[in-house]
Amino acid sequence: MKNLFASICFLFVCTSPAFSQGKTDLKVFISVDMEGITGVVNWEDVNRDGKDYEYFREIMTKEANAAIEGALAAGATEILVRDSHSTARNLLPEMLNRNAKLLRDWSGGFKSMMEGIDKTFDAVIFIGYHAKAGTPNAILEHTMSSTNITDVSINGISLPEAGINALIAGYYNVPVVFIAGELAVCQQAKKLIGEIETVAVKEGIGNAALNLHPEVAREKIAEGVKKALLNLRKYKPYKLKPPYKLVLKLKNEELVHEKSFYPGAKRTGDWELTYENRDLMEVMKAFNRMH
């Protein structure tokens, strides 16, 4: 009986995702935005002054919880949730699963939606994400700023927020393994990253959206996160080769002129700024200060 018990314990440990990577724990980073949450279709839904904002921050918190539950089911031992929308004070702390730590508000640092990430994490998950600025049939599409930016590209690749944030994770050799949001951003993430688990909670139709029921969306998120984390070897960190060339297209003359004074920035078009560096983090610092 003693030998049988030992064999069962050995089998459990050896088949866990953490053991399969030579680790004794599984550390997960979850970045949660709001525009890609189930049911959200209008800027009022995600604005603190909006009539339905309180409702949708509950939905946002529940979708974050679904991701946490999926991570726990896959064996996660440490989970950091980064509130990544607007004020970074949207998720409801008391409602959030007690097994996760919550990072709220902005510190002034340049990692923004990825603040808290480092090389100790094993996987990154995106919840409530949306498509890049100018994407057709997308809901509340924008790139970092809904008022200032028309496009962000690095090394000639136009990036949604998911791509920018995946690069930051990739800098630390951490793969993005899962994304939930509208269909358009799921498609963009697959095109950029390649192997990634996705859940489209809604599909844009012009300015409208066809949405899953919130409970169905949460079930799919939990299942998708668990599936991704149980198959970590499939996923690779998203990286581009240095040097890195950032091209930022803004929306007005005053802003372009002002940001052209950032050290190393050059005006390369009517409303276009370019910045180059071999260090990706210097590029991210420049991007953070130039929009």
Catalytically annotated residues = 142
Integer Cα distance of 274 and 14 in angstroms: 49
DSSP assignments along 91-138, one per residue: S-TTTS-TTSEEE-S--S-S-GGGTT--TT-SEEEEEEE-PPTT-TT-
Contact between 82 and 127 under an 8 Å Cβ cutoff? The reply is no
Amino acid at 199: V
Query: Whose structure tokens read 């949660």?
Result: 32
CB neighbourhood size of 109 (10 A): 11
- What type of residue is 187? Q
DSSP string for residues in 15-26? TSHHHHTT-S--
**176 - beta bridge partners?**
124
Q: How far is CA 283 from CA 22, 165, 208, 266, in A?
A: 33, 13, 35, 13
Q: Give residue for tokens 């970045």.
A: 31
d(CA 29, CA 289): 24
